[in-house]
Structure 1
Amino acid sequence: MTTQDTMTYRIGIDIGGTFTDLVAVDDAGTVTFAKTPSTPEDQSIGLLNGLEKLAGMLDLSRADLLAKTERIVHGMTVATNALLERKGAKLALLTTEGHRDVLEMREGLKPDRYNLRLPRQEALVPRHLRLGVKERMRHDGSVEAPLDDASLAAAIETLKAEKVESVAVCYLHSYANDAHERATAEAIRAALPDAYVCVSADVLPQIKEYERVSTTVVNGYVGPALQRYLRRLEARLDEAGYRNATLIVLSHGGVAPISEAIRSAVATVLSGPAGGLAGARHAAELTGVENLIPFDMGGTSSDISLVDAGEIALASNRAIAGERIALPSLDIVTLGAGGGSIARVDGAGLLQVGPHSAGAVPGPVCYGRGGTEPTVTDSNVVLGYLDPSGFLGGADKLDRSGAEAALTRLGETLGVSMVEAAAGVHRVVNTQMAEGIRLATVRRGVDPRRFALFGFGGAAGLHVTGLARMLDLQRVIVPRVASVLSAWGMLTTDLRYETIRTHIGDTEGLQADAVRALFRGMEKEGRDYLSSWFDGAVTTSRSADMRYGEQVYEIDVPLDELDLDAPDVLDRLKAMFEARHEALYTYSLPDRAPVLVNAKVAAIGQLPAPPQEPEAQGGAPAEPTGTRPIYLDGWVDAPIYGFDDLTPGQEVPGPAIVEASTTTVLLRAGDVATCTPRRWLDIKVGA
């Protein structure tokens, strides 16, 4: 029997732009969570503050909690912020002589091709630090020109003189033969031992020059900041008494040790949102609702994705802050719309909300930390949706008069009342997020009306029922851990190591034995890597990038069901591509032989899942704790219910407010929320 003395914990930590979320799950499945303000100047400070608060909620000291913790899983925005804010390292790029302008040439296309006034985006590496080195590999891995020692030495002298802190190396066709990149990296490390050095053969060993060089450059740009943060965090956790593994969430939804996260820093750019999608996938398993639209609304942004038939989609061609990142990552649409998004009137007199945010500092006006511009959170205070005296469970107070003053100024500019201005802010941000959800669904050929909206993040509960109406959705699910779901979801992830090999050939010209050997060799590589430091079960997952010969872009084809030992393995590979192409584009070309471009294998180390919290038993329905006037196209007195007070099976009709210490859910007229055995809200949306 587990006692307080023998109890152990798993802790998930998600650092967002406004709050740092922490979740602890004990051996009995009991979930305890806390929120503390993020500390952008050093995110580890907010993290340690959060651990202190979490320990106090468990009647433990921080040292005792860390001594009882088996695993910490962490998602952060260090790499994301460095890229978004252009505050990365002083970076140099070494590339094949004559090819240093690939970063600016891109693919010959502008991000917005019809915008004639679109300014050119500055490359992450200035031209004088993009250095050509004499060498050349051919596409088949043979050496066209050997690595020139004098040319490399001259480049290294420039690196020294410029005092760069990071160097990215990306030579032509190194995916076929990485010998020149490896030799270059060795020479750089010998000459600049303190520099962060990365090579494309480690970051993205695949064909397509722009994608490969861009991804490697982003890795070098954000790598030093991430390395400093994680090393500092390691030292502080060690000093605080923590001795076990700290795992970092990567953009593909898996986790990796700190050393691997530092090596592939670019893979952490979507670290935080990936945790939320992992939690949504786990929620689909728990609820049996396999079609979900995860909607994560936090303080600075909203992330939208899709769980279709219990599966989440990966994308391999994302653009973050205008930079191409071609690593596999969860397919997430991010909008600059959150609780801290600033409302303003543009030059045409129209109300705009976001993408600029008040962030954690100074935050919305109602936080009383010096903010002066009205935000979405301020409008929700004015409309009565948030209780100024009960914010964060009463630990903090909101300045209602400050919010009212800010919305009054906005209303005067618009020529409307304070309340009309607040309602307008709420309606505009809902419209923007509804369009984001349409983008995330319809672009995949998916009808959003087949899905339930899964709302989480601290601000989502106030907007999900309005969004559902705009999208004609009939069901909304809000978990009890909504405000910290990303941190909770991180505890449900597994270790994941991705390998990729370019192997171009159409299915009529490939050799079956070569394809078998390719995938089996990659599976062995992944298993060997994880098994070198992980002693649990390891599985693998196969896929491939394929296209028709005349096409420019590949599609991802899952190949877990492909029997490599089948004598007709190439015919089956062709059929699986055609089925995937048909599903995406409604047609295929059976008389054409598709081309295999990249083989991909993920090795997955299965971590023990956290225990599930026992389902609650029914009881007497909870009574409202009071009423509060809220604005729904007119003022109404709405009953207020405590989220944690509701009993399984209890129904709460709207209009009503359901409050917890870290989240608030708005029910509109016609909505009916049912409390599930897990004490989540399952909302039937009114017409």
Structure 2
Amino acid sequence: MRIGIDVGGTFTDLVVAQDDGTIEQFKTHSTPKDPSVGVLQGLAEVAGAHGLTLDQLLNEVKLIVHGTTVATNTLVERKGANVGLITTEGFRDLLEMREGLKEDRYNLRMASVEPLIPRYLRLGVPERIKYDGSVHTPLDVGALNCSLQELKREGVESLAVCFLFSFMNPAHELQAEAEVRKVFPDAFVSLSHEVLPQIKEFDRISTTALNAYVGPELGRYLGNFQRRIGEHGDESKVLIIQSNGGAAPIEDSIKFAVRSILSGPAGGAKGAAKAAASVGERNVIALDMGGTSTDISIIEGGKPHVANEKFEAGWKIAVPMIDIHTLGAGGGSIARVDLGGILRVGPESAGAEPGPACYGLGGENPTVTDAALVLGLLDPSSFLGGRVSLDVNLSREAVKAKVAEPLGLSVTEAADGILRVVSNLIAEGIRLASVRKGLDPREFSMMAFGGAAGMLASRVAGEVGIQTVLVHPAAPVLSAFGILNSDVQYDFSQSYPMGLEVLDLNEVRVRLKAMEKQGRDRLIENGMSSENIRVELNGDMRYLDQIYEVTVPIPELDMEDPLLKEQWADNFHRRFEELYSYRQSNQEIRLVTLRATISAPLPEISDTKGTHRPSTDFNSSHPVTRQVYMGVWENVSIFHSNEFLEGSKVQGPAIVESEFTTVVLGRGDVAIKSPGGMLRIELGRVQSMEYQGTISLGSDPVTLSVVENRLESIAIEMMDVMLRTSMSQILNSSRDFSTAILDGQCRLIAQGEGIPVHVSALPIAGEAVLKTFGDDIHPGDMFALNDPYNGGSHLPDITVIKPVFLNDNLLFMTVNRAHHSDVGGASHGGYNPSASEIYHEGLRIPPLRIHDKGQPRDDLLAMLS
């Protein structure tokens, strides 16, 4: 017997895997003050279900894999340790300066993110390691000890040590640690060269500070949990899930506590990958929809995509983690009408209290759950396994007052509009998450899980163009299922910045072998078989002058050096082109960081045990029905998931209910019960991602909201590609550029989060192109200008405009404006205090055609460059 545990804000989910392949699901209430209490209550419930005492259960259990939100909650709620920071003299304010960017450029009253460590606890000491690892200034031990005594007087319980270029030479950090231990023998200590031995100083200091901030609280929780388990059984049976989707022993999880932040959604992605693989699906989009948010992850080739950095609660975490795209759209998301008369859903949530209006706990705002209840998609008497009774009249009143009446719609139309908008938000999230990875979501299946996903999965998949939806029998607790199916995994990284052509491959081999040995040793120490250990080697690479890397596989290290470099370069060019649709074969390639993932699988757990029975077709004559709105009100067949045995099939419209989730089948959808209990839904109708019809300002507010979401996601994607591919620090660091979409009449209809002064002038630039070229604008054309008298700002800001046609009709203009460091003015950058005329700033560019029907005008481009 093995048990996977996922602690959430409201419920703690447990999945029990028996040796015969049977999977059991349990839910118990979480206990936020001490989550270990709720976990033990859940384990006691499992024991009771098997007629055992807790001691007997824990003696029978072979393994417990535990996912916890303690680290995440500690950060979000700002309840972490009192941390002191020791850093290189002159760099203590880096934690507050961050990356020099304002998170919301349009919020003039936005306060800066409050530092995790206040300035009086951030102390610099004289020392300096150079970029090549050599010592420039020895560590001043006397100054260090003075700083440590000051921190001791302030009651510091945790310390972070982050010296410049310590990833190239950790000697000073190790020397500092020895002194720290003398003054703080019991303190939690984080060293940056251990937490994140990588280039990019803010990434390293932020991640190290986070580790020191959440580590003590996570340590207290896991120590308490370990002690409680030890009172009843063997505490060594416990592993903790990490944000990379792998598991690690308790002591490693405490030392590198930052790797537990955002570990909950990682379990869901791992569960989706495992569940999909059981029915032969290796490319799936995982859709985890709960009460507050929706988590989207991509599984390609059986593996979830991994990101190497992410912001959480305003702080950068630069460790490998499963790439989760989170949307503020869940069952509790609130629907409202904005001042422009457009229907909005989320990101505000009703939460558990007061919750949706139908809970009867005082909530007055309509939510996605209320809309589903109004439309008959949910059974008010069986919500959450019958633990909660829902009041449909309260839902109708809320939808009527807050959405239907302001928009002049019926209650039914308003409720259906809420589901259309939230489905579109999720569909756009899927498009953005997949397209920015160079992937077409239509080539994937969807794995829907979490309490609310089954209700909207068919609708969302159809909108994206996905043909197949999978719903696992453990869908409501799939994160716990994934936690139980994780590998024991260690991720290592080390920056080694060097041009590929001059790279010392022998040094690369030495560094990678050292990381591999470290991972193998830890796995073997934890009882993993050496024969089952897997090694994955990657390199973070980029073109010269870019600052965002692309992670690519490293070829076999035993190749001859010239062939290895050639294949490595090919891997990078190919992956870059997959992401951004072009490559620069003549550009220098830079290696930035080496990565090694060393893992070993836990003993295989069979999927849910299936029950065999001859194929059965259910149809509309099924005796259990209720009135449901699916375009029209009609009697729809209602099934319980237990009615579906292997080979059972039903055609939509229909609803399949289980204790903790509801699955809605659209008209023409066909659901089949696969071996192992998977519900496989083949959609009867999917939409194309191409243009489908006519949209006008006279369209209904729901349609306008859907179109607006789609256009905004395109503008954001434009900005993301610009950011990650540009070779100017003005653009990729300072982000002095903007992207937007204009309609055919040059009205601004969507924009990325660019520079406000840019965005307001872009429609005028579009009008200047129309005025200059009139009807002489064709598909494939592209225009450039910087003239302030034609919608430009100052001359260094060059605007590029590409018209978009449909059936020879000008429909949109996509626009990009970016600052250039020098456009030929009297002073570099164009800022010339002695300027007396515009030409002193540089070259003044009127609207010019730089691409003619798809062909670049090389002579003109050469002149401009």
Which residue identity lines up with residue 211 of structure 1 in the other structure?
D
Contact 2:158–2:212 under 8 Å retained in 1: yes
Residue 659 (str. 1) matches residue 657 (str. 2)? yes
Structure 2 SS opposite 1:435: helix
Query: What secondary structure sits across from 1:221 in the alignment?
Result: helix
One of 314, 318, 327 as aligned partner of 1:326? 318
SS at match of 1:572: helix
**Within 5 Å, which residues of 2 pair with 1:500-539?**
500-537=493-530, 538-539=533-534
Mapping of 1:39-118 within 5 angstroms?
A: 39-112=31-104, 118=110
Cα distance in 2 for residues equivalent to 1:261 and 1:358: 33
CA offset digits 1:258-309 (Å, max 9, x no partner): 1111111111112111111111211232111222111001122111011123
TM-superposed CA distance for 1:650, in Å, is 2.1
Aligned residue for 1:603?
A: 598
Displacement, 1:526?
A: 1.6
Mean Cα displacement is larger for which, 290-299 or 63-72? 63-72
CA positional deviation for 1:497: 0.9
Q: 1:558 to 1:504 in 2, by over 3 A?
A: same
Seen in structure 2, the aligned counterparts of structure 1 residues 67 and 300 have a Cα distance that, compared at 3 Å, is: farther
1:3 alignment partner in structure 2: none
- How far, CA to CA, are the matches of 1:660 and 1:85 in structure 2? 34
Tell me the distance in 1 between the aligned counterparts of 2:359 and 2:343. 23
Contact 1:37 1:360 in 2 (8 A): no
CA distance in 2 between counterparts of 1:388 and 1:45 reads 31
Q: Among 127, 150, 156, which residue is 2:119 paired with?
A: 127
CA shift for structure 1 position 346: 4.4
- Aligned in 2, Cα 1:574/1:445: closer, same or farther, shift over 3 Å? closer
| Secondary structure in 2 matching 1:463 | helix
Q: CA separation in 1, counterparts of 2:359 and 2:220?
A: 31
**Worse-matched range after superposition: 45-54 or 133-142:** 45-54
CA distances 1:430-480 after superposition (whole Å, capped 9, x unpaired): 222112111111111211111112101111000101112221222211111
Deviations along 1:101-124, whole A, 9 cap, x unmatched?
212322333334566665422222
- In structure 2, relative to structure 1, the CA distance for the partners of 1:567 and 1:44 (3 Å cut) is same
Contact 2:540 / 2:550 at 8 angstroms: preserved in 1?
A: yes
Q: What is residue 555 of structure 1 aligned with on the other side? A: 550
Say if 2:137 is the partner of 1:145: yes
Residues 39 and 634 from structure 1, CA distance in 2 versus in 1: closer, same or farther, beyond 3 angstroms? farther
2:469 to 465, 476, 479: 476
Report the Cα distance in structure 1 between the residues aligned to 2:363 and 2:222, rounded to whole angstroms.
31
Counterpart contact for 1:630–1:637, Cα < 8 Å: yes
Letter in 1 for 2:633: W
Aligned to 2:674: 676
Structure 2 counterpart SS, 1:287: coil
Check whether the contact 1:17–1:300 (CA below 8 A) recurs between aligned residues: no
Q: Which residue pairs with 1:6 in the alignment?
A: none
Residues 123-132 or 209-218, more deviating: 123-132
SS in 2 for 1:174: coil
Aligned to 1:10: 2
* TM-score, scaled to structure 1: 0.93
User: How much has 1:542 moved relative to structure 2?
Assistant: 0.6
Determine if contact 2:609/2:677 at 8 Å carries over to the other structure: no
- CA–CA distance in 2 between the matches of 1:619 and 1:601? 48
Q: Which of 18, 41, 59 is 1:26 aligned to? A: 18
Change (3 A) 1:239 1:625: farther
Post-superposition shift, 1:659?
0.6
Contact 1:103 1:210 in 2 (8 A): yes
Long gaps (5+) in structure 2: 686-865
Work out whether 1:621 is the aligned partner of 2:616: yes
Separation in structure 1 between the aligned mates of residue 72 and residue 547 of structure 2, nearest angstrom: 29
Partner of 1:630: 628
| CA distance in structure 1 between the partners assigned to 2:220 and 2:376 by the alignment | 43
Of residues 358-367 and 240-249 in structure 1, the stretch that sits farther from structure 2 once superposed is 358-367
Partner Cα distance (1:437, 1:28) in 2: 36
Bigger Cα displacement from structure 2, 392-401 vs 280-289: 392-401
Per mean C-alpha deviation after superposition, the further-off stretch among 404-413 and 454-463 is 404-413
Q: Is the 8 A contact 1:622 1:645 kept in 2?
A: no
Give the one of 517, 522, 535 matched to 1:540.
Answer: 535
Aligned alpha-carbon RMSD (Å): 2.4
CA contact (8 A) 2:271 2:479 kept: yes
Determine which structure has more spread, i.e. the larger CA radius of gyration: 2
**Structure-2 change in CA distance of 1:313 and 1:525 (3 Å):** same
Aligned to 2:460: 467
Contact 1:480–1:681 (Cα < 8 Å) also in 2: yes
Q: Is the 8 Å Cα contact of residues 446 and 470 (structure 2) preserved in structure 1? A: yes
* 1:678 Cα deviation after fit: 2.1
Name the CA distance, whole Å, in 2 between partners of 1:578 and 1:212: 28
Deviations 1:395-445 (A, max 9, x none): 443344544454454347736554444333323222221121111111112
Contact 1:574/1:593, CA 8 A, preserved across alignment: no
SS at match of 2:291: coil
- Does residue 581 (structure 1) correspond to residue 576 (structure 2)? The answer is yes
Cα distance, 1:584 vs structure 2: 2.5
Distance of aligned partners of 1:355 and 1:166 in 2 relative to their CA distance in 1, 3 Å threshold: farther
Q: Aligned letter for 2:456?
A: H
Whole-angstrom CA distance in 2 between matches of 1:406 and 1:239: 50
**Contact preservation (8 Å) 2:371, 2:415:** yes
Instruction: Give the residue type in structure 2 aligned to 1:284.
Output: A
Q: What does 1:140-179 align with in structure 2 at a 5 Å threshold?
A: 140-179=132-171
8 Å contact from structure 1 (residues 17, 359) kept in 2:
no
Contact 2:553–2:568 under 8 Å retained in 1: no
Q: Is the 8 A contact 1:562 1:573 kept in 2?
A: no
- Partner amino acid, structure 2, of 1:562: E
Residue matched to 1:496: 489
Q: Which runs of 5+ in 1 are unaligned?
A: 1-8
Identity of aligned residues (%): 47
The TM-score with structure 2 as length reference comes to 0.74
For 1:5, the equivalent position in structure 2 comes to none
Alignment partner for residue 228 of structure 2, among 224, 232, 236? 236
Distance 1:494 1:390 in 2: 36
CA contact (8 A) 2:436 2:579 kept: no
CA distance in 1, matches of 2:509, 2:34: 48
- After superposition, what is the alpha-carbon deviation per residue over 1:319-343, rounded to whole angstroms, capped at 9, x for unaligned? 1222111111111101122223233
CA distance in 2, matches of 1:382, 1:36: 28
| Structure-1 separation of matches of 2:146 and 2:414 | 62
CA distance in 2: counterparts of 1:369 and 1:188, whole angstroms: 52
Shift of 1:505: 1.7
Q: Which sits farther off after the overlay, 668-677 or 348-357?
A: 348-357
